[in-house]
Amino acid sequence: MPLTGGPLAALQSELADCRRCARLVAWREQVAVEKRASFREEVYWGRPALAIGDPAARLVVLGLAPAAHGGNRTGRIFTGDRSGDWLFGALWRAGYANQPESVSAGDGLALTDCWVTAAVRCAPPANRPTPAERDTCTSHWLIPELELLVAKRVILCLGGFAWETALRVFDAPRPRPRFGHAVEHRLGAGPGAGLWLLGSYHVSQQNTFTGRLTEAMLDAVLGRARELTQGHG
C-alpha cells in the first residue's frame, strides 16, 4: 500500500528523482536496460527504491541497499527478490505484515508498527556502495526519514553495513559496539538517545542458503524487537 500524503510521502516523492551519485545512477539505469533474462518483459523502475511501512512505526528495519533485480526492478525496497521473501515472510509471522509476499509495488502489502528502509537507496554494483555514496544517501534521505518516524524505538539492522550506518547516523559515542546476530545496544547520548539498535544477520541468500541465518533465528530477533518496542529492555 503506497503512502498517501504527509511528510514521509513527500520525502519519498523527492527521493524517487535523486541523481546525486553518478556511479550508482549509471549502474541502476544500465541494469534497468540490460535486465535479467527472466524479467525481460518487465519495465524496470531503475531509480531509488522507496521504503514501505507505517509512519507510526516503533520498529524500523534497516537494510543495506536495493538489489539490482529486486528493488531496482520493482521500485520498492526488499521487493521482488529472495531476500524480501525471507524478510516479509518473517514480518508476516511476527504480525507486522498483512501478507508474506512482497512481489511488486502494487501487491497490497501493508505493515503495522514497522517501517522497512535501507542505508543506500540505489542498487550498487556488487552490493557495495562506497563510503561517500553511503554518506550522501544517509544525509539526504535516511536521516530525514528517521527524523519523521517519531515513534521509532528500535532499529533492526540487517547486517554489519546497516549496523555501522546506524551508529554513524546517530553519532553513537565510542567505543562503539560490534555487530553480531542478536546483539542489542541502547544508544546513550546523542541524537538517538534511548533508541535500541538490534543486529541480525542479513537476509541475503549468502546467509539463508547456507543456514547461517535460519527462520527461527530471524523470528527470535523479531520477537525481541517486539519486546523492546514495548519497553521491555
Residue 76 interacting with ligand SF4 (CB under 6 A): no
Judged by CB under 6 A, the number of residues near ligand SF4 is 16
Among 94, 122, 149, 203, binds ligand SF4 (CB under 6 A): 122
Q: Which of 115, 117, 41, 105 is nearest to 75 (CA)?
A: 105
217, three cell numbers = 533465528
Binding residue (CB under 6 A) for ligand SF4 from 3, 11, 21, 172: 21
- 23 is an interface residue for ligand SF4 by CB under 6 A: no
- Decide whether 30 or 214 has the Cβ nearer to ligand SF4: 30
Can you read off the three cell numbers belonging to residue 174?
565510542
Rounded Cα distance, 101 and 92, in Å: 9
Interface with ligand SF4 by CB under 6 A: which range of 71-79, 91-99, 115-123, 172-180? 115-123
Query: Which phi and psi angles does 16 have, rounded to 5°?
Result: -60, -20
Which residue in the set 120, 166, 167, 222 belongs to the binding site for ligand SF4 (CB under 6 A)?
120
153 binds ligand SF4 (CB under 6 A): no
**Nearest-angstrom CA–CA distance, 11 and 15:** 6
Cβ proximity to ligand SF4: between 65 and 114 the closer is 65
Residue 143, interface with ligand SF4 (CB under 6 A)?
no
Nearest to 181 by CA among 202, 152, 209: 202
**Site for ligand SF4 contains 25 (CB under 6 A):** yes
CB of 21 or CB of 187, closer to ligand SF4: 21
* Category of 193 on φ-ψ map: left (φ > 0), alpha (ψ -120 to 50) or beta: beta
Selected binder of ligand SF4 within 3, 8, 11, 24 (CB under 6 A): 24
C-alpha distances in angstroms, 200 versus 29, 71, 144, 223?
A: 30, 20, 24, 12
Would you call the peptide bond into 175 cis, given omega within 30 degrees of 0 as the criterion? yes
- What residue ranges bind ligand SF4 (CB under 6 A)? 15, 18-21, 24-25, 48, 120-122, 133, 136-137, 140-141
